[in-house]
Amino acid sequence: REGRRVERIPRTAAAAAKAPQLAPVSKFFYSPSLRLRDWGMPSAVSGGGGGGGGGNHAGSGGGNGNNMNPQTNEECGIRDVWRHNLDEEFRTIRHIVQKYHYVAMDTEFPGVVARPVGEFRSSADYQYQFLRCNVDLLRIIQLGLTFMDEEGHTPPGFSTWQFNFKFNLNEDMYAQDSIDLLQNSGIQFKKHEEDGIDPLDFAELLMTSGIVLMDNIKWLSFHSGYDFGYLLKLLTDQNLPAEESDFFELLRIYFPTIYDVKYLMKSCKNLKGGLQEVADQLELRRVGPQHQAGSDSLLTGMAFFKMREMFFEDNIDNAKYCGHLYGLGTSFIVNGSNNTGSSNTNSNSNANMGGGGGGAGSNANTNTGSGTTGTSGTGTGGNGGNTGGSSTTNSNANNNNNNNNNNTNSSSANNYHDNGETNATS
């Protein structure tokens, strides 16, 4: 919208020196302590078991963070896909998808580096614009796809394909802590630079694979606004739509049936936390290296089928759950009914970007009734500014421990990739 702009963090120290006009880092929704989403399973930045309720991709807390005897992807049934074997593996996928119609998905991406500044109609609008500006600026690093049948069974041999995209640390933008976590999790950035998949080549093969644009394919994900944002960017070779409603319309076209496990958890008593924490509660065992997209996608699929059995009597109401992405405020139309307004988006909401398990984070408290727009503070637990109707901007950087300033009567927490991990930060 007119009046909006995006503020970016300088990519390198050299770039920062050339751009003194940029605001200090504390003004952005970014913290030097921000970690990748820590599901124990997913993203490029999945977190290891931290000390308390961490998040999805970058720091899922409390879970079994490390495998005592880690296996390779091949030993776990996870096929690594690079530029040299992309065509061959898609031939296999085109055959697999004829029987296995459930596709569990996860991505790894290089964190978050920017936030939108300007006027926003609501906190839901702000959340989408935050997602949009970061997806538009950054490149995907990994995509994991796991195939399952109606009973949750995987194909014999390989069940999961982990696509490794071209990424150059010298040229592409990223959040440093996200890259550090991914490197510590086994991501080989040198190989991504030399043998990474070209996004256009991948998109062409994905379009003809039989897994997108198909009504019979059911996509499984976990807190997946950013995941599907990157997939839509790949498939369209364009920036994301300016309006959230147009984003969901594209989503409906390419992915007609989506179940977000984090959204399903709203109806599952006592289930809480990030992916790894949920898996622990469901007594699921991770397969494959933690903090990589392949293993995370497999764990997401396992969690879906276990939850469907335990909480939904093996029958999930599409009109109620299909098409919702946790953390975003709308959904697309299913069976003639428009399911709008995700309950985790209210007039006052906390967009919690903090690291899981006691890690530092920055919160943006959105007060749609106020007249000023404040930037977030950075700290453990973090606190932020009030977003309102005027374009006046006040910058507040606060370093407080577990200090949330709620200036409104009701507020709800929107955790980025669960409990503050960043996907990729995923």
Q: What does DSSP assign to residue 271? A: -
CA quadruple 298, 299, 302, 308: dihedral positive or negative?
Answer: negative
Q: In what order do the strands lie in the sheet with 348-352?
A: 363-367, 348-352, 412-415
Task: Find the DSSP H helices in 209-357.
Answer: 225-236, 244-254, 261-264, 275-281, 293-311, 318-321
Max CA distance (Å), the chain: 59
DSSP E strands: which ranges in 292-399? 333-334, 337-338, 348-352, 360-361, 363-367, 373-374, 379-380, 393-394
Residue 425 in domain? no
Q: Which two tokens stand for residue 313?
A: 């009597």
What are the residues whose beta carbons fall under 8 Å from the beta carbon of 41, sequence distance 6 or more? 106, 275, 276, 279, 286, 290, 291, 295, 296, 297, 298, 299, 300
Q: What total number of domains does the chain contain?
A: 1
End-to-end CA distance of the chain: 27
| Token reading at 193 | 């630079």
Beta strand pairing status for 257-260 and 218-221? parallel
For residue 420, tell me if it sits in a domain: no
Using the 8-state DSSP alphabet, how is residue 371 labeled? S
Q: Please tell me the predicted confidence (pLDDT) of residue 181.
A: 92
Q: Is 422 a domain residue?
A: no
Indicate the pTM of the whole model: 0.68
Domain region containing 129: 5-415
The angle at the Cα of 106, spanning 102 to 108, to the nearest 5 degrees, equals 160
Q: What is the dihedral of CA 56, 322, 271, 383, to 10 degrees?
A: 50
Residue in the block written with tokens 């970016």:
8
Whether residue 75 contacts residue 291, with contact meaning beta carbons closer than 8 Å, is answered with: no
In the chain, count H helices and then E strands.
12, 17
Q: Is the separation of the CB atoms in 89 and 294 below 8 Å?
A: no
CB 143 within 8 A of CB 105: yes
The reply to whether 407 falls in a domain is yes
Helix extents (H) in 148-224: 176-184, 189-195, 199-207
Q: What is the mean pLDDT of each run of 10 residues along the chain (426 residues)?
A: 55 42 33 32 35 34 44 82 98 98 98 94 92 98 98 95 98 96 93 98 98 98 97 98 96 97 93 94 91 95 96 92 88 47 39 35 37 36 38 37 38 38 44
Helix (H) or strand (E) holding 261: helix 261-264
pLDDT at 330: 62
Q: Which helix (H) or strand (E) holds 260?
A: strand 257-260
pLDDT value for 333: 44
Token digits of residue 387: 């977003």
Nearest to 355 by CA among 378, 385, 326: 378
Residue 232 sits in a domain whose CATH number is 3.30.420.10
